[in-house]
Structure 1
Amino acid sequence: MTYDLPNFVLNSKEILRIDEKKRDEFKRLLEFSKNDPNGFWESIASDLVWRKKWDTVMEGRLPEFSFFKGGYLNVAENLIDRHIEAGEANRAALIFESETGRSAVYTYAMLQSIVNKLSNALRSLGVKKGDRVSIFLPNIPETLFSVLACYRVGAVFNTIFSGFSTQALENRLKHFNPMIIITADGTYRRGKLVELKKKVDEIRDSNFEKIIVVKNVGLNLNFTERDLDFYSLIAKFNDKDKGGDVEANEPGIVFYTSGTTGKPKGVVLSGAGFLVNNYVYAKHHLDLSKSDVLWCTADIGWLTMHIWGIIGALANGSTTLFYEGAIDYPSQDRFYEIVQKYKVTKIFTAPTLIRMLMKYGFPEGKYDVSSVRVIGLVGEPLNPEAWHWMNKHFRSAYINNTWGQTETAGTPLAGSAFATGMKPGSSGIEFLGASLDVVDDEGNPVLERPGNLVIKKPFPMMIRDLWNEHERFLKEYYGKLEGLYFTYDVAVKDKDGHFWVLGRNDDVINVSGHRLSTMEMESLVASVNGIAECAVVGIPDEIRGLTPVVFVSLKNDISATGIEETISKMIEEGIGKFAAPSDVIVVEEMPKTPSGKILRRFLREIYVYGDIVGDRTGLENPASIEKLKSVLRNRIESRNK
Structure 2
Amino acid sequence: MEAVTALTSAKLTPLPDRWRLDTQAELLAEARAAEALGPDQYWEWAARHMRWMRPWDELRNGELGDFRYYAGGLLNVADNCVDRHAENPATADRDAVIWEGEPGDVRRITYRELREQVARCANGLRSLGVNRSDVVAIYLTNLLEAFVAIHACNRIGAIYTVLFAGFAPEAVALRLAASRAKVVVTADAAWRRGRAVPLLANLRSARAGIGTLRHTVVVDRTGSKPNLQPSEVGWDALLTQQTADCPCVALEANDPAFLIFTSGTESKPKGVVHSSAGFLIGTWANVQWQVGPQPDDIYWCAADVGWLTFPIQAVIGGLAHAMTLFCFEGALDYPDRMRVLDMAQRHGVTKILVAPTGLRMLRAAGDDVVRAKRPPRLRLITAQGEPLDPETAEWTERILDVPVINAYGQTETGSTWTYPVHGVDPTKPGSCGTPVPGHAYTVLDDLGRPVAAGTRGNLVLTAPFPTLARTIWDDPDRYQATYFSRFPGAYATSDEAVLDRDGQIWVLGRADDVINVAAHRISTMEIEGAAAASPGVAEAAVVGVNDAVRGTMPVAFITLRQGAEQKVVRADVSAAVERAIGGIARLRQVYVVTALPKTRAGKVMRRLLREAAETGSVRGDLTGLDDPAALDFVLEAVRSAG
Instruction: Provide TM-score, normalisation by structure 1.
Output: 0.95
SS of the residue corresponding to residue 561 of structure 1 reads helix
Aligned counterpart for 1:500 among listed residues 506, 510, 514: 506
What pairs up with 1:561-640 in 2 under 5 angstroms?
561-610=567-616, 616-636=622-642
User: How far off is 1:608 after superposition?
Assistant: 2.9
In structure 2, the residue matched to 1:639 is none
**Is 1:205 paired with 2:227?**
no
Point out where structure 2 has 5 or more consecutive residues left out of the alignment.
none
- Judged with a 3 Å threshold, the aligned counterparts in structure 2 of structure 1 residues 293 and 410 are, in CA distance, closer, same or farther, namely same
Q: Which residue of structure 2 lines up, in the alignment, with residue 12 of structure 1? A: 11
SS of the aligned residue for 1:50 comes to coil
- The 1:251/1:359 distance shift into structure 2, 3 A limit, reads same
Residue 529 of structure 1: how far off its partner (Å) = 2.7
Matched, 1:80 2:82: yes
Match of 1:473 in 2: 479
2:521 pairs, out of 509, 515, 521, with: 515
* Equivalent residue, structure 2, for 1:482: 488
Q: State the 1:9 CA deviation.
A: 0.3
User: How far apart, CA to CA, are the structure 2 residues paired with 1:505 and 1:214?
Assistant: 41
Contact preservation (8 Å) 2:362, 2:370? no
Distance 1:634 1:107 in 2: 54
1:248-291 per-residue CA deviation (whole Å, 9 max, x = no partner) reads 11111110112375543111111221101111221121111343
1:380 has 2:386 as partner: yes
C-alpha displacement of 1:376:
1.4
Structure 2 CA distance for partners of 1:224 and 1:25, relative to 1, 3 Å: closer
Residue 358 of structure 1 is matched in structure 2 by: 363
Structure 1 distance, partners of 2:618, 2:52, is: 48
After superposition, where does 1:381-460 map in structure 2 within 5 Å?
381-395=387-401, 397-446=402-451, 447-460=453-466
Deviations along 1:551-575, one digit per CA (max 9) or x if unpaired, are: 1122345442244332211111222
Distance 1:601 1:15 in 2: 38
Paired amino acid for 2:406: N
- Are positions 1:228 and 2:241 aligned together? no
Cα deviation 1:544-603 (Å, max 9, x = unaligned): 232111111223454422443322111112221121111222223222111111111222
Structure 2: which amino acid aligns with 1:33? E
Q: Deviations over 1:336-372 (max 9, x none)?
A: 1111112111211110000000011242564352312
Native 8 Å contact 1:210 1:227 kept in 2: yes
CA spacing shift, 1:181–1:21, aligned 2, 3 Å: closer
- RMSD of aligned C-alpha atoms? 1.9
Question: For the residues of structure 1 that align with 2:286 and 2:522, how far apart are their CA atoms?
Answer: 32
The superposition leaves residues 377-433 of structure 1 with CA deviations (integer Å, 9 ceiling, x where unpaired) of: 1011111111111111222x3221000011111101112111111110011111110
In the alignment, which of 297, 301, 309 is matched to residue 306 of structure 2?
301
Distance of aligned partners of 1:172 and 1:622 in 2 relative to their CA distance in 1, 3 Å threshold: farther
Residues 313-324 of structure 1 mapped to structure 2, 5 A cutoff: 313-324=318-329
Report the 3-state secondary structure (helix = DSSP H, G, I; strand = E; otherwise coil) of the residue aligned with 1:123.
helix
3-state secondary structure, aligned to 1:430: coil
Measured against aligned partners, the alpha-carbon deviations of 1:449-488 in whole angstroms (never above 9, x if no partner) come to 1111101111101111111122221111112111111111
Aligned length: 634
Distance 1:364 1:588, change over 3 A: closer
- Give the Cα separation in 1 of the matches to 2:265 and 2:570: 29
Question: What is aligned with 2:245?
Answer: 240
TM-score (norm: length of structure 2): 0.95
Structure 2 distance, partners of 1:460, 1:262, is: 29
Contact 1:99-1:330 within 8 A present in 2 as well: no
Tell me the SS of whatever aligns to 2:392: helix
| Residue type at the aligned position of 1:7 | A
Q: Distance in 1 between matches of 2:349 and 2:521?
A: 41
User: Is residue 539 of structure 2 the alignment partner of residue 533 of structure 1?
Assistant: yes
Is the CA contact 2:270–2:472 (under 8 Å) kept in the aligned structure 1? yes
CA displacement at 1:103 relative to structure 2: 0.2
C-alpha contact (below 8 Å) 1:351/1:381 kept by paired residues? yes
Q: 2:68 aligns with which of 66, 69, 72?
A: 66
- Structure 1 residue corresponding to 2:170, chosen from 167, 189, 193: 167
Provide the residue aligned with 2:123 in structure 1: 120
- CA contact under 8 A between 2:190 and 2:222: conserved in structure 1? yes
SS at match of 1:211: strand
CA displacement at 1:530 relative to structure 2:
2.4
Aligned residue in 2 for 1:30:
32
1:381 maps to a residue whose letter is P
Secondary structure at 2:7 match in 1:
helix
- Per mean C-alpha deviation after superposition, the further-off stretch among 446-455 and 519-528 is 519-528
Tell me which amino acid in the other structure corresponds to 1:295. W
Offset at residue 237 of structure 1 (A): 1.0
Q: Structure 1 CA distance, aligned partners of 2:6 and 2:37?
A: 34
Q: Partner of 1:52 in structure 2? A: 54
1:503 deviates by: 0.9
Comparing 548-557 with 86-95, which one deviates more in the overlay?
A: 548-557
Percent identical pairs in the alignment equals 36
The one-character-per-residue Cα deviations of 1:477-520 (angstroms, maximum 9, x if unpaired) are: 11211111111111111233211001111222232333222222
Distance in 1 of aligned mates of 2:256 and 2:446: 33
Counterpart residue identity of residue 255, structure 1: I
Partner of 1:187: 190
Residue 8 of structure 2 aligns to a residue whose secondary structure is: helix
Letter in 2 for 1:284: W
Aligned partner of 2:377: which letter?
Answer: S
Paired with 2:617 and 2:485, the residues of 1 have a C-alpha distance of: 31
Secondary structure of the residue aligned to 2:492 is strand
228-237 vs 444-453, greater mean Cα deviation: 444-453
Gaps of 5+ in 1: 637-641
How many Å separate the matches in 2 of 1:549 and 1:415? Answer: 32
Give distance in 2, aligned partners of 1:34 and 1:369: 40
Superposed displacement of residue 25, structure 1: 4.5
Separation in 1, partners of 2:530, 2:41 = 45
Counterparts of 2:569 and 2:370, CA distance in 1: 28
Instruction: Determine the structure 1 residue equivalent to 2:114.
Output: 111
In the alignment, the residues of structure 1 paired with residue 631 and residue 371 of structure 2 have an alpha-carbon distance, to the nearest angstrom, of 37
What is the rounded CA distance, in whole Å, between the counterparts of 1:172 and 1:34 in structure 2? 42
1:256 alignment partner AA: F
Structure 1 position 335 matched with structure 2 position 340: yes
Work out which of the residue numbers 159, 168, 184 in structure 2 matches 1:156. Answer: 159
